[in-house]
Structure 1
Amino acid sequence: MNLLVIYTYPNHRSLNYDFLQKVLEGSRENPAISAVQVLDLYEEEFDPVLVFHEQKRRRDMHADPALEKYRAQIQWADKIVFVYPIWWGRPPAMLLGYIDKMFASGFAYRDNGKLLPEGLLKGKSAVCVSTMKGPALYPLYWLNNAHKVLMRKALLQYVGIRPVKFFEFGSMESPRGRHEQKLQRVYRYFKTVAK
């Protein structure tokens, strides 16, 4: 299994970075995982801004040569892992900008005249490891599970990626946030996941 880990946090001295390290540590110890690539969107200085005009059309985005490296990473991956904070009930704009660019028609999906398009990334699965300041049940009860609905249904399943597993950790700015216990959960999952 090939693992693509997309890390979206601007600081390497952070709890999010610790979660990234646990993903990598567990993956290195898992014989089912043959190779891992990490895409650090901030370190990469990925440009999340969409630009369309007469020479750069939205319908041609699936073939944009500036994005070829990132398309190749997605095609290579069997499992895509997203590590990010939840800000304002959703992933960071940097990650959403990456998705806007990469999940383009002609690459990630194809319109087929039906209610939902054909997902072109079938056969891949995803894991979302996210942190937030608020309590763990806040997104469920206050936001109607908007984060999971966005990531699972509106984005990943739309392009054929399934299943989608979530590690959604709350109270992460609290000294009682059980950080080590949560880090170990992520480590154990990646040490043993088979597909």
Structure 2
Amino acid sequence: MSRVLLVLGHGRVSGLGHRILEVARKALVEADTPHRVQDLLADGFDPRLRLTAGATHAAACSAEEDPLVHRYQEDVRWADAIVVVHPVWWFAPPAILKGWVDRVLVDGVAIRLETNRPPSPLLGGRRALVVQTFSATKTVDRILLRGLAGRFWSQAVFRTTGIERVTRLALHGVTDLGDARLGRFEAKVRREVARLGESR
């Protein structure tokens, strides 16, 4: 059975993202799947990356340096699968979630940086599920922007860290979202999360 990390990056303390997160969490609880939750805003996560003088990149930190970031980094190491839930703003994740990438998926946790060499991935063998909500339509996302918001994760973030098996679920047009369409999407989330938890 896989260990699953749920990550919610949102600028609100409650809303659609939290509802989706709860759907995912319940699916894991019902299957007795080991899991951990990172609700960035509720946890008080600071997305700002501050490098010390002379530092060229962020690296793994100790609990003494930053207890929350250290816990987040250890959660990533612990997980066999990562589920990221977020709204899409300007066809990118919210700043709080981009800060999570900058401060958590760092040298010594998700990649290994060596002088004059490309990053070496440290998260090989893991899987990821990205759940995104859009005000934009599917046409704008997939045709005009060619899935830019999804490619940020699949190509830029997860491929770099060694995660090749990435599934994306996108809910478009949330400003005109009825109960039936939301219910169908939640069923997809439950199904994909259950698959993540079934095996390594």
Distance 2:58 2:191 in 1: 41
Q: In 2, Cα distance between the equivalents of 1:9 and 1:188?
A: 23
In the superposition, the TM-score normalised over structure 1's length comes to: 0.88
How much has 1:106 moved relative to structure 2? Answer: 3.1
Question: Are residue 29 (structure 1) and residue 27 (structure 2) matched?
Answer: no
Deviation at 1:87, TM superposition (A): 0.6
Of 157, 160, 176, 2:159 maps to 157
Q: Residue 46 of structure 1: CA displacement?
A: 0.5
Instruction: Identify the residue that residue 95 of structure 1 maps to in structure 2.
Output: 97
Match of 2:48 in 1: 49
Query: What's the counterpart of residue 190 of structure 1?
Result: 193
Q: Give the root-mean-square deviation of aligned CA atoms.
A: 2.2
Aligned to 2:109: 107
Give the superposition deviation at 1:111.
Answer: 3.7
Structure 1 37/115 Cα, relative in aligned 2: closer, same or farther at 3 Å?
A: same
SS in 1 for 2:72: helix
1:22 deviates by: 1.0
1:61 to partner: Cα distance: 2.5
CA distance in 2, matches of 1:3, 1:167: 17
**Equivalences, count:** 192
- Larger mean CA deviation between 22-31 and 45-54 belongs to 22-31
> Which residue type is aligned with residue 144 of structure 2?
W
Alpha carbons 1:26, 1:189 under 8 Å: kept:
no
| Displacement of 1:58 | 3.9
* Counterpart residue identity of residue 150, structure 2: K
Q: Secondary structure in 1 aligned to 2:152?
A: helix
Deviation of the 1:115 alpha carbon: 6.9
Q: What are the within-5 Å matches in structure 2 for residues 2-41 of structure 1?
A: 2-30=3-31, 33=33, 35-41=34-40
Decide which of 56, 59, 62 is 1:61's aligned counterpart: 59
Q: Cα deviation per residue 1:50-72 (whole Å; 9 max; x = unaligned)?
A: 11232x72446323531321111
TM-score, normalised by the number of residues in structure 2: 0.86
Unaligned stretches of 5+ residues in structure 2 = none
Asked if structure 1 preserves the Cα contact closer than 8 Å seen for 2:135 and 2:172, the reply is: yes
Equivalence for 2:131:
129
Distance 1:188 1:49, change over 3 A: same
Verify the 8 A CA contact 2:58 2:102 in the aligned structure 1.
Answer: no
Per-residue Cα deviation, 1:21-65 (whole angstroms, up to 9, x for no partner): 11012112225x2x11111000011011111232x7244632353
